[in-house]
Structure 1
Amino acid sequence: MLYRLPSVGQSDAVTVSAPVAVIGPPDPAAAFTAALDQAGLASIRYDEFPVDLSGYSAVIVVAGRYPEPERLDVAGLAEYVRAGGSAYVEFALDDTGFLPQGEIRTAHIERIFTTVALAGIEPLQILDEHSSQAQQVVVRGKAVELCSYGTVAGTHEAIFGPPDVTFPALLDIPVGDGRLLYATTALSHHVKGRYKPVRRWRRLLQVIVGQLTGVQLAEDIEVFTEPRVWVATGEPVKLVVRSSTKPVAELDLVETKPGRFESDLQYLDDGEHTFAVGDQHVTVAVGPRAERYRRMVDRAIAWYDRAGMFYDAPDGSKGVAEGLSNEIDAEGKLPFRPVPRGDCFTQTAHAFRMYADLADFPRGRTIADNLMRLVVEEEQLTDRNQLYGSFEPRGARTDLTGTNNLFADDNGWISLFALMSGHVESGLRGVEALIRTSSADLGLQVDPWRTPSTLLVKGWDELSRSPIEDGLDLTSHWQSSAQCAYLYAYGLTGDQGYLDIATRGLDHMAGQHPRARLETSRTCEAGRFLLPLVGAYHYTRKPQYLETMRSLAGYLKSRQGPDGGFAEWDGKCPPSNEAYGVDEAAIFAANGDPVTDQLYGTPFAAWALPLAYRITGEPVFEELAHGVLDYLSRIQIDDPDDEQLDGTWQRAFDFDSWEYFGSNADLGWGPYCVETGWSVAPSIIGAMLYLTGDNFFPPAPSSLSELPASIRAEFDAIAAGQPAPATFTRRDDGRVIRIQNGVQAVLGDLTAAGEPVWARNEPVGADEIYVRGTDGHLHHTYLDDRVGQGRWQQLGDLELADEPVVAFNPGANAIEVYVLGADGHIHHCSMIDVRGGHTPWEPVGTLHFTGSPAVLYDEELGSVRLVANDTAGQDRRTRKVNRWHLPWQDYSHWITA
């Protein structure tokens, strides 16, 4: 039953002559004055309560200090309501007991949903807010709960019904002869806070106005074109209206199904065209695809700068941010997510390299080169163990304890783009690391979210023999990037081994198709599976790959909406209200939700489909490529006033309500997040592949077969435990680099003032490295034969005046470290065989010296000997006995002997 004002009949219209008083600051008040205007009602806004409320047809009090509650003096308002007036108040404190009160808390995963039928809003309809502040009040007396907070699964509707635990969001409370509508949160905040879906939030405020005044609400008529926003030259468009009755329009409209009216197909000239339906207007642009796609690319490239994605340096030399997190704050902003992800670096680098050529934009190549340099120099793991060749996907490598999970999909993309950028050796090491962590039988990745400890404990041989669990062998989400890297490596080198492992895995996956493990959804899997199939068909012309691509095309076509996007289907969706918001999940709730995924699905389909058409020549791939690229161009955010989002895409787009909106159940990447890689970069890579005619994969295998053999030999030597002595040196920029078997690695972000020195610590199987930093202190790290490089640690606060000297003392199983301090004394510490255990600095005698001593181990005496020149120019010598140093002796007369 429709919930209405009790004193107003089901079809009665009420005429309201007195204005409505709206109390509160202009911005939140504007949300309600818009609803009042829509209802044809006059309103007067006040900052504070007027002295007399009796001349107003209703009173609306908005939360002016949200997310903080405001304490109100409501004595006059209480008197007005008890005398028969109607008032709405939201999120306020009251000392008199007139307003409901409760504990103020953050609604972390609870969402607002309707509990009764309202005018134009059915029960159980979801109104998404974003971690709103709310009062957890208890319903008392004859109050009616119109909207509730609760943990509900669903996109537009609570598909499993109301949850067991709820608390009120909007109450209708009889008070004396009047009524009070009380919202436990700031419903007026929906505009500033970007609450979704927008049309439903607007309607809710209109419903509140209708309940307060008794005015019958006008029907919410929706007018749009199909396709929306833009249509390619020569292609048709139609006008669509959603309305319960046939509207008045300049085009003849026919009801095609209940509540939906359509015009005939219109073929329009290039330019903008506007259609009127009653007092509503809708505009559609018509123009060439190439121009539209180029505009899309230009705007997305500009977004990186406008949104500040190149933090600290606009040339990319400090990296690119991961993007924007999902959690919209009280100001309507998305949190900046500065995580330096290698996959985002490399995907962005390739997009900017392509754009440099497309737009004659030299800065694009500079950005690309800088981003790739950071990944290759800072993120590839080159310690000689089972992590060798992999890429640390979340920033510069540190020691083993700081190494993130070595995700197979991230490493696949990084390796692929390293090859494409000209860093062939680094890319092939990444490819070989993926091969060594793949199944020997299937050629597919084992444990693709692998931890470093798993790799070190199991080793390459055991891992390759491990069964692939959970059907992971059939998920392109985890497998496709590695397969693309193998195929590109084959095209670059001509090495048959790369093609063999790629096709072995693809044969297995294609043979099982359409069975697949769904990491996010079947739609995303289809888009991700296409790219490696395109590459494999390019090199082999195997019919099975073409048939599988045709099948994927048929599936995508069956899920395609009227504007070209592919609806999510068969996903990892919460199976109950209790499962909502507790794990990673898809951004739709049930099959049929008109939601597309711009993180894991749409961009990869846009990337692969132009290539599929170019490689096969089959029209279905061209049609689908046009559809998905058209769609991306239509849903690209176009708001010049919004520096965060103008020119980009968020993850979930609802193509029926035509806004960014979806099920917010995913713990990590909800519907409103933005990724520089994965989303923006792949989207414009796809558009530029279309514009340039680039085949992406090398046209024919080259002959660089000696290099793959050399790379494999490096891995074989590590597997065999063969040693490789390391040397260390200071780079021009002050960073310390390690060179081991010809492979360089930058050691952390320490800036050195001098050259590093090192000594072999055989009892623990490591090299100990020391260097004077630009801060004047001594710093230490290590290279362990098994766990690899350590982090730099400062050794005390001693200020150095010269470079350190070190020697291994086998008599004590210790590294002896000597430096000249700023005080002119020589100081000493020892590193015992417990990792990181340096003794405190202590002076060696009281003499002053001009430089650090020379140090050697005297095997005959079994002790460390030191030689140094004091400030008088005399030659002084001493040696270490046990943990003590003997007094300095004068050997200056030996100089002429």
Structure 2
Amino acid sequence: MKKISWICILLLTGLAASAKDIYCYGSLQNDLYQLLKREGFSIKQYNTPEAAVKAAPKGAGVFIIAARYPAMDPLNKISQQLLDEAGKKSLKLYIEYPTAFPDLSIPAKPLETHLERGVVTADIFGAQLPQMSLLGIHNCHVLPVEVKDPLIVLAKVVGFDKAEYGLADTKSYPLLFEQGNALVCMTGLSNFETGRYGPEGSIKTVWSYILSRMGVNNLDAWKEDVHPMFGRNDKLPATARANSIKKGVAWFDNGRFFIHPSWKQDWLKYGSNGLTPVGPMVSQSKPNGDGSLGILEGHTSTIYYDGTQQYRYWMRADVQGEVSMALAAAGSFLNNKTYKEKSANLIDYLFKTSNMRAGAKNDPTSAAYGLIGWATTNAGTFYGDDNARAILGMIGAAGYLHTNKWDKELAEAIMGNFRTTGKYGFRGERLEEGDIIKNGWQHYENRDIIFPSPHFESWMWACYLWLYNKTNYAPLLTKTKEAIRITMESYPDKWKWGSSMQTQRARMILPLAWLVRVEDTRDHREWLDKMVHEITKYQDESGAIREELGKGKGMFKSLSKNEDYGTDEGSLIFRNGEKAACMLYTCNFALFSLNEAYTATGKYKDVVDKLSDFLTRVQVSSQVHKDLDGAWFRGFDYGRWDYWASNSDAGWGTWCTLTGWIQSWIVTTQVQIQQQQSFWDVTKNSAIGGPGKAVIESMMKK
């Protein structure tokens, strides 16, 4: 009896061990095999698909995956003989990215895609992933084939998390389907961790289905190379915000965004294109500059199959000013001399070295005097909003650095904009240097233009109010009050809302807060209260501020058909109610503006703290991608708690980063909240009043 018992035990032990065996062809570094290894499976690798099928016992699961996706694998050829042998043994097959398969006409090269997303076309994944659900299979390399009834296809479609217009008017490519006794995939679906596929929950659902068919029923060791710093419900440590500041400012260096003389030619190569200045990420082996040659814009939103993102090599004025502020703020908070030096170098670069304040812009007799060019590639283009953020950034930096070095240039920049502002306080979307020189600045001062778009107009009003506080030059106040009155009376139906109504609200709060600072009246407080209420009624318990579309058509192309996806700037959402927060246009500026509103009135602290905590949580954490660690992406789905949204924006989509717009306003405001300060407080001792009055007298002479 004892002998029989021991034999049974040995047999059962052998069966248990074999149940944890995975038979495979492909690289052991593949994300799927690494996941299964973490789950406790023994990966039995074979040199050919045929060898894996031959070795597998009856009823086992066999994974056949291309060795080096997206490269074609000449050994990954599936023959009818292999399928027949697998059928005789009742093997469960998962075959990925084959170069040959019976009855399938597979091309010699894959089709590389960027805007296309996975679309679920079968009702097999459960309620969490119904038909038309979207999957981010980034930079998908697909082998186009024709099959009936695919489970997932690849297509360019409109939508936040589902294909809103279906697939009828767009080309689709089968990705996952059943073929005989095999589950076949025509792309590198197993590249899910390296390629940063998402949303995480949806990709995990797909793989849970595939693996359950293969006899694997639990996924407890799932990993992501890029993820939020904290979960939605994690208790934040007392040091969380301070650490967020440290990581946020360190990101500028970790990303190698400061141009260094040794690789300046790369910037000239990729950054000289004024339309698409995009190039490869800067290698971690290259040195950082000291700010004297400027700082790059950040990442594009396209994620490649290896999980990397390209850089945008634009040299923009707003970015220089904004980053100078963040460096100075963090340098003061962390007592870091290097950050302070880089801050000053960026301002000197903008004003003295670059062409963004050169030529007619630096000629006191020119109508364009004082204005700041949009970028080195577009030095004669003037967006009032971009000028405003560059100016505010440098004012803030000067406050933290305790210097009056750039007071004259800052006053000239503000007044250069003010004297090209129309009768009612509006400038419009942008002006051009050639037109200003031709027409004279008085032409623009006398225009009847009304342009109620806080995104384009309102932060320049904040600059006017700030300089009024230092100089008492009355027109700065009177014209700004008129513009604010018209804009508030136009709300909401006449506002030009661009890609987000929340953006407009976030931008409007700052001049309203500073109007209370310089002229504290009941009407001005009511305006501020109204706008704070209008934006924060969409604030989630997590602190996220939900995006919202305005009524009618915004300023960018309406996505009325699938082919419109990715052709213009646009929103993160398709319809109101989708749980997306935007760190490029809304949450970043809202944090700064709401903190100014709180410190001006003593109200709104709860919404500031909630938003600050949210931004602390969703900051990027990555041990794999150092150039992303500590950044904030534009888009975040606070329902899924994942970096996900519609990536339709042609320039600045869901996964873009910006050294200026996003990073700098968040880092700076986190410093101010941590130190219980405001921008107004930091800059209150500015001595710009003296040189400012002289500049006003000189520049406003008729």
Bin of the TM-score, shorter chain as denominator length: 0.7 to 0.9
> 2: distance between equivalents of 1:36 and 1:639?
22
1:410-431 deviation per Cα after TM superposition (whole angstroms, max 9, x unaligned): 1112233344423122112211
> 2: distance between equivalents of 1:394 and 1:74?
54
How far apart are 1:386 and its partner, in Å? 3.4
Given the two structures, how large is their TM-score scaled by the length of structure 1?
0.65
Residue equivalent to 1:513: 491
How far apart are 1:229 and its partner, in Å? 7.4
Residue equivalent to 1:34: 35
> 2: distance between equivalents of 1:323 and 1:458?
36
Residue equivalent to 2:6: none
Residue equivalent to 2:656: 673
- 1:438 equivalent in alignment to 2:425: no
How far apart are 1:314 and its partner, in Å? 4.1
- 1:660 equivalent in alignment to 2:643: yes
> 2: distance between equivalents of 1:418 and 1:181?
58
| Segment drifting more, 83-92 vs 314-323 | 83-92
How far apart are 1:195 and its partner, in Å? 1.5
Q: Secondary structure at the match of 1:27?
A: coil
Q: 1:803-882, aligned counterparts within 5 Å?
A: none
Residue equivalent to 1:308: 256
CA contact (8 A) 2:407 2:692 kept: no
- Counterpart of 1:160 (choices 131, 156, 165) is 165
How far apart are 1:519 and its partner, in Å? 1.7
CA contact (8 A) 2:259 2:293 kept: yes
Residue equivalent to 2:235: 285
Residue 429 and residue 94 in structure 1: after superposition, are their counterparts in 2 closer, same or farther (change >3 A)?
A: same
Q: 1:486-525, aligned counterparts within 5 Å?
A: 486-515=464-493, 516-525=495-504
- Counterpart of 2:71 (choices 44, 68, 76) is 68
> 2: distance between equivalents of 1:704 and 1:636?
36
> 2: distance between equivalents of 1:578 and 1:68?
29
> 1: distance between equivalents of 2:21 and 2:291?
57
Q: 1:364-443, aligned counterparts within 5 Å?
A: 364-377=339-352, 378=354, 379-380=356-357, 381-383=361-363, 384-395=365-376, 403-420=379-396, 421=398, 422=404, 423-440=406-423, 442-443=424-425
1:828-851 deviation per Cα after TM superposition (whole angstroms, max 9, x unaligned): xxxxxxxxxxxxxxxxxxxxxxxx
> 2: distance between equivalents of 1:560 and 1:66?
42
1:523 is aligned with what amino acid? Q
Q: Secondary structure at the match of 1:26?
A: coil
CA contact (8 A) 2:170 2:563 kept: no
> 1: distance between equivalents of 2:642 and 2:100?
38
2:247 is aligned with what amino acid? R
How far apart are 1:561 and its partner, in Å? 1.5
CA contact (8 A) 1:495 1:705 kept: no
Residue equivalent to 1:799: none
Residue equivalent to 1:579: 564
> 2: distance between equivalents of 1:555 and 1:636?
26
Q: Secondary structure at the match of 1:574?
A: coil
> 2: distance between equivalents of 1:116 and 1:325?
33
How far apart are 1:161 and its partner, in Å? 2.6
- Counterpart of 1:92 (choices 74, 88, 98) is 98
Residue equivalent to 1:451: 432
Residue equivalent to 2:114: 108
| Greater per-residue helix proportion | 2
Residue 541 and residue 33 in structure 1: after superposition, are their counterparts in 2 closer, same or farther (change >3 A)?
A: same
CA contact (8 A) 1:25 1:47 kept: no
Q: Secondary structure at the match of 2:198?
A: coil
Residue equivalent to 1:206: 208
> 2: distance between equivalents of 1:610 and 1:709?
29
1:633 is aligned with what amino acid? T
How far apart are 1:33 and its partner, in Å? 6.1
How far apart are 1:325 and its partner, in Å? 1.5
> 1: distance between equivalents of 2:236 and 2:583?
24
> 2: distance between equivalents of 1:352 and 1:173?
55
Q: Which has the higher contact order (CA 8 A, sep 6+)?
A: 2
CA contact (8 A) 1:413 1:481 kept: yes
How large is the RMSD of aligned CA atoms in angstroms? 3.1
Q: 1:321-360, aligned counterparts within 5 Å?
A: 321-360=296-335
CA contact (8 A) 1:342 1:414 kept: yes
CA contact (8 A) 2:634 2:653 kept: yes
Residue equivalent to 1:749: none
CA contact (8 A) 1:35 1:206 kept: no
> 2: distance between equivalents of 1:408 and 1:601?
18
Residue equivalent to 1:868: none
How far apart are 1:102 and its partner, in Å? 7.3
- 1:80 equivalent in alignment to 2:72: no
> 2: distance between equivalents of 1:392 and 1:46?
61
2:324 is aligned with what amino acid? A
Residue equivalent to 2:141: 133
Q: 1:212-251, aligned counterparts within 5 Å?
A: 213=214, 215=215
- Taking only the aligned residue pairs, the percentage that are identical comes to 21
> 2: distance between equivalents of 1:190 and 1:89?
16
Residue 339 and residue 47 in structure 1: after superposition, are their counterparts in 2 closer, same or farther (change >3 A)?
A: farther
Residue equivalent to 1:484: 462
CA contact (8 A) 2:596 2:680 kept: no
> 2: distance between equivalents of 1:532 and 1:171?
53
CA contact (8 A) 2:635 2:644 kept: yes
2:61 is aligned with what amino acid? A
Residue equivalent to 1:541: 520
How far apart are 1:128 and its partner, in Å? 1.0
| Greater per-residue strand proportion | 1
> 1: distance between equivalents of 2:204 and 2:212?
13
How far apart are 1:494 and its partner, in Å? 2.2
CA contact (8 A) 1:172 1:181 kept: yes
CA contact (8 A) 2:170 2:562 kept: no
Residue equivalent to 1:8: none
CA contact (8 A) 2:160 2:573 kept: yes
Given the two structures, how large is their TM-score scaled by the length of structure 2?
0.82
> 2: distance between equivalents of 1:591 and 1:21?
47
Q: Secondary structure at the match of 2:374?
A: coil
Any gaps of 5 or more consecutive residues in structure 2? 1-17, 223-227, 261-287, 399-403
How far apart are 1:332 and its partner, in Å? 0.7
Residue equivalent to 1:780: none
Residue 43 and residue 369 in structure 1: after superposition, are their counterparts in 2 closer, same or farther (change >3 A)?
A: closer
1:830-881 deviation per Cα after TM superposition (whole angstroms, max 9, x unaligned): xxxxxxxxxxxxxxxxxxxxxxxxxxxxxxxxxxxxxxxxxxxxxxxxxxxx
CA contact (8 A) 1:527 1:608 kept: yes
Any gaps of 5 or more consecutive residues in structure 1? 1-15, 223-227, 232-236, 239-283, 721-897
How far apart are 1:81 and its partner, in Å? 4.8
> 2: distance between equivalents of 1:553 and 1:147?
43
CA contact (8 A) 1:112 1:169 kept: no
How far apart are 1:458 and its partner, in Å? 4.2
Residue equivalent to 1:170: 175
Residue 163 and residue 438 in structure 1: after superposition, are their counterparts in 2 closer, same or farther (change >3 A)?
A: farther
How far apart are 1:322 and its partner, in Å? 1.1
Residue 229 and residue 665 in structure 1: after superposition, are their counterparts in 2 closer, same or farther (change >3 A)?
A: closer
> 2: distance between equivalents of 1:359 and 1:393?
31
1:203-238 deviation per Cα after TM superposition (whole angstroms, max 9, x unaligned): 212222334x3x59569999xxxxx9779xxxxx97
> 2: distance between equivalents of 1:165 and 1:695?
50
1:10-38 deviation per Cα after TM superposition (whole angstroms, max 9, x unaligned): xxxxxx9595422111222x325636986
> 1: distance between equivalents of 2:694 and 2:541?
52
Residue equivalent to 1:299: 247
- Counterpart of 2:695 (choices 685, 708, 711) is 711
